[in-house]
Amino acid sequence: MPKDFVKPFCPLKAHSKLLILGAGFSGQRIAKIVKALGTEVLCSRRNINSPGADFQFDSKKPDLPSIDSLKDITHVLSCIPPSNNGEDPVLTRLLRHLEKMPLQWVGYLSTTGVYGDSKGAWVSEKNTPKPEQPRSIRRLACEQAWVSSGLPIQILRLPGIYGPKRSALENLTGSKGKIIEKPGQVFSRVHVDDIAGAALHLINKTTKGEWPLVVNIADDLPTSNKNVLNYAAKLLNQPLPRVQPFEQAVEEMSSMALSFWKENRRISNNLLCKELGYSLLHPDYRSGLRDCLKYFKS
């Protein structure tokens, strides 16, 4: 990773050691950035042969990593979603391990789905969560379990995550050449590098006593999928995809896809960016997609 790339990120202090539980899309990218800043990072995946896996952790399997293999960890980031029964896979299996570590900060990647539907209005951390989808109800239960764990927790609530090799550029090929349009509907997003940047910024702030329990990490510009896909098409010099009205598209949508379109909210990042002073690397989808283009292979 080029030196210039890591310039904007705030490094962890010397002798820190970060444990990333569930180094999938976000975890892998965050690990790369934090390693490039000179901090030791350990990553779990469910399969030891998966890229970037330092050790195996699958909450559904009996084997657990030894406590010795996880010693001296100072910071933890859990990227593992709730189990189907609503329990947190990390807390149910690894809490005793975590309690033995000299932890300074534990981050939990949650979702802004916990806010439910605001009918397009802005939503901040001050809004009481009103999850409507079963997966968001499970998510809120996991947040609450982390808060009650006694660990030095901070909850990072994320909207749609995109980044290199997982963005509207790739979605264009999968969109069967069409864009779904639902007037008034917007989605919030965050570029994966801003999850890393914001997490590092927040860790730094906690050392100065600024420790809000919950922080939204979103860009400045919630917008429609149509705008994002049109911009992706422009970057790829492709014709603009055909627009299909939502009412028509509904008929062939999976229940999961449908559940995303049921909720409409704009996620406020005021706490992160104004009160805590984080500068987004990618304040909107245009900047983010231009970055993703560097990694795009058609």
| Contact positions with ligand NAP (CB under 6 A) in 157-216 | 158, 160-161
Among 18, 33, 73, 79, binds ligand NAP (CB under 6 A): 79
Query: Among all residues, whose Cβ is closest to ligand NAP?
Result: 24
Distances in whole angstroms, Cα of residue 35 to Cα of each of 5, 16, 40: 12, 11, 6
Tokens 């900047």 sit at which residue? 287
Number of residues counted as binding ligand NAP (CB under 6 A): 23
Among 81, 120, 212, 283, binds ligand NAP (CB under 6 A): 81
| Contact positions with ligand NAP (CB under 6 A) in 1-30 | 22-27
Choose between 17 and 88: whose C-beta lies nearer to ligand NAP. Answer: 88
Virtual CA dihedral for 25, 31, 36, 39, nearest 10 degrees? Answer: 170
Choose between 113 and 241: whose C-beta lies nearer to ligand NAP. Answer: 113
CA distance 21 to 2: 25
42 beta partners:
19
Select from 43-51, 99-107, 213-221, 233-241 the region that touches ligand NAP (CB under 6 A). Answer: 43-51
106 beta partners:
76, 153
Report in angstroms how near the CB of residue 44 gets to ligand NAP at its nearest.
7
| Contact positions with ligand NAP (CB under 6 A) in 205-244 | none
Choose between 24 and 212: whose C-beta lies nearer to ligand NAP. Answer: 24
Among 3, 7, 15, 60, binds ligand NAP (CB under 6 A): 60
Chain positions contacting ligand NAP, by CB under 6 A: 22-27, 45-47, 50, 57-60, 79-81, 89, 109, 111, 158, 160-161
